Structures are given as C-alpha cells and as structure tokens.
Amino acid sequence: MIHVYRYRPAGTQQGGDARQSAVERVAFETGDVIPEDAVWIDVMSPDPEERQALESALWMFLPTREEASEIEPSSRLYREGDAIYVTVSALVKSDSDEPQTSPISFVLAGRRLLTLRYSDPMPFKTFAQYLERNPESCAAAQVTLAGLLDALIDRVADVLELQGGKLDKIGCEVFEKPDAKPGTRDYTNMLGALGRVADLTGKARESLSTIERALLYVSTVARQELTKDPAAGPEAATAGGRNGKAGKGAAKDPLSKTTQVRLKTLVRDVETLSDYTNFLSGKADFLLNAVLGLIANEQNGIIKIISVVSVIIMPPTLIASIYGMNFHDMPELGWPYGYPAALLVMLITALIPYLIFKRRGWL
C-alpha cells in the first residue's frame, strides 16, 4: 500500500477554500508517475512489484525488511548519494498482551520524504489526521520527518505514562494493605502485571534509543552539509545513489533553523523519557522484590503453623505408637460398625486440616 501526500499552498488547490493551504493524499498504483510536488511518500508492506516500481520511479534504493531489522547503527543510519536513510524501531501493539517493535525506515531525499514500514503504528494514523487540520506540517520533507518522529515520541510517552499508573496501583496493593490476611492478595496477577510492565518498558527504551540516534544523525548530517556548502539549497545538484541510481528529487536541502531547533527539542524529550524508563524499570524491580518478599513471609508463616501443629500431635502419636491397640477392654472391637466408623474418623481428621488450610489460602 502506497500513499503520496502533496502539499497545496493557499491559492493553488482546486475546490474547497482556495485561501487555505491543504494536503492532498492520493494512492499510488504500479505504473503511476510520482508527482513532482510530492512531499511525503508513505509505503506500507510493499510487494515486489510495488517496490520495483518505486525504485524505478524515484531512482533510489529501498531497504528490505531484513536490512531494516538489523540492529547495528551502520545498517540503520547511512547515506546513499544525497539521500539520508534512518531506521527506527516503533512501538506497536502496545495495548495488547504482546507488544512489539517494528522497524520503520525514513528516507530523506531533498524535498521528499519516503517512509517504509511493515506495520501500522498509531502515530502514523494520528499524524495523517493531524495534517488535515495543520497542512503546513507537510509543507516540506524535513518538517514532515520531524512531525512523524514527534508523533512516535508522543506515543511512547503516553505508553510510559500508562505503565507508571499501573506500577502505582500495584504499589498501593502491596504497601497500603499491610494487615491483609494471607491468601487475599493475588500474587500471580501481580507478578504477571509487573512482567508486562517491565517488557513494555524495555521495548519503549529500545524505541527511544533508535529515535534518539536517528535525530542526532540527521542533525549531524545537516550540520555537515551547511559546513561544506552554506549556500546549499533546493537547487543544488543531485548525486548518485546506490547501484548508480541518482534519486530523483534528492537535491541537497539542508534542514532549516526552525527544524534544527525542533530536532534538538525532540532529542531533549527523548533523553527525559529515557530517564523516565530507567525510573520505571527500577520501580518495577523494587516492587518485584517486595512481592517476592511478601510471598516468602506468608510461606514462612504457613510453615511455622504447620510445625507447631506437628509438635502438638507428636506426643499423642508417640503414645499411640507405643501401646498400639493392645488393650482387652476396647468396646469398638465388639461393635459391628467399628471398622467403618474408624475409616470415617480417619477421613474426617484428614479433611478438616485440608479445609482449614484451603480457607486460609495456604493451598
């Protein structure tokens, strides 16, 4: 699935209010020509035909899913001619029981931005809806790139905020009920919830780490371009890409000062959220140790009671073992129902402790 976003400045679009700018979204089919004024090309799970058509139309290489999934920085952050390739790990399915991270590649080629993804994370949906109200966010490729990364960061922040609330709830159950009776706390659910929080926090940290590296890389490359050619702009020459392809629309287009400032702000946001993930991880570890400590205390209490009961019944058992049933005057021996009654008493004496332990939550 491929969608092309075209920015229409005020006074240029047909239909609607010509006094306002707008973003036009069109579907790209195999054989179509990429519009010259295309700002953002969003590609999701392309088939081989779509991939080949895009590479031919744009004259640039598109990384495969296997290449995008590699974790070494040299495979995620690099240049091909004048095109900048950065790949981040986006947090997906965070509301489910199996959260995941999925690679998303951003190709910044002059006045165009191409995104290549194999999942449908929520930030892309919200950003597309945001463009309907704020079309200026798609006025330039660099602005769109910053907006998408900002949306990814906001989503991670929302997820971390939710996990912090879950840890607070678990903490209340652990520490604000010190006199709770044994067996009234559901330790299995507590441990499961802590495990899910720790897993999601770890994936959020992974996503933030890749986003931070991408932000720093894009900023560094932009500064290098400005240092080499302060006058470089949209009219700069196009250089060749991988496999000798030149990359249409890949003219040098250094980041504007406004975008550079925004990227620096996003880097600070990521650093703050990374510190928060460390805090959540530490808190989850602390609560895990607290829950395990409570479980150990309850088990020690149960073992103490069982030990006391064992000591109490040991003397009668010793006497019964010594004398056995070696008495002449035992009325039960002449009673026809003596044997079934003895079996029933044995069953009752075994069942009563079981019911007591079960009611107190020891079993």
In order of their start, the domains of the chain are: 2-294 (3.30.460.20), 299-359 (no CATH)
Nearest in space to 131 (alpha carbons), one of 109, 118, 113: 113
Q: Which residue numbers in the chain have pLDDT < 70?
A: 10-21, 177-184, 225-254, 322-327, 361-363
The 10s digit of each residue's pLDDT in 100-110 is 999 999 999 87
Per the CB < 8 A criterion, the answer to whether 157 and 272 are in contact is no
Exposure string of 238-256, with b = 16+ CB inside 10 Å and e = fewer, is beebbeebbbbbbbbbbbe
Q: Which helix (H) or strand (E) holds 339?
A: helix 338-359
Written as six digits, the tokens of 272 are 């703050």
Task: Assess contact for 92 and 119: CB atoms under 8 A.
Answer: yes
Q: What is the pLDDT of residue 241?
A: 40
Amino acid in the structure at residue 291: V
Alpha carbon distance 153, 148 (integer Å): 9
Instruction: Please list the residues that pair with 78 across neighbouring strands.
Output: 85
Residue 363: CB atoms within 10 A of its CB come to 11
Q: Is 247 left (phi over 0), alpha (psi -120 to 50) or beta?
A: left
Report pLDDT digits (tens) over 264-280.
999 999 999 999 999 99
Q: Which residues pair with 91 in a beta bridge?
A: 101
Specify the pLDDT at position 230. 46
Give 269-317 as a 3 state SS string: HHHHHHHHHHHHHHHHHHHHHHHHHHHHHHHHHHHHHHHHHHHHHHHHH
- The pTM assigned to this predicted structure is 0.78
User: What pLDDT, on the 0 to 100 scale, is given for residue 254?
Assistant: 59
- Class of residue 105 by CB neighbours under 10 A (exposed 0-12, middle 13-18, buried 19+): buried
For the chain, count helices (H), then strands (E): 8, 7
pLDDT one-digit tens code per residue, 129-144: 999 888 888 888 999 9
**Whole-number Å distance between alpha carbons of 191 and 204:** 20
Q: What is the reported pLDDT for 59?
A: 82
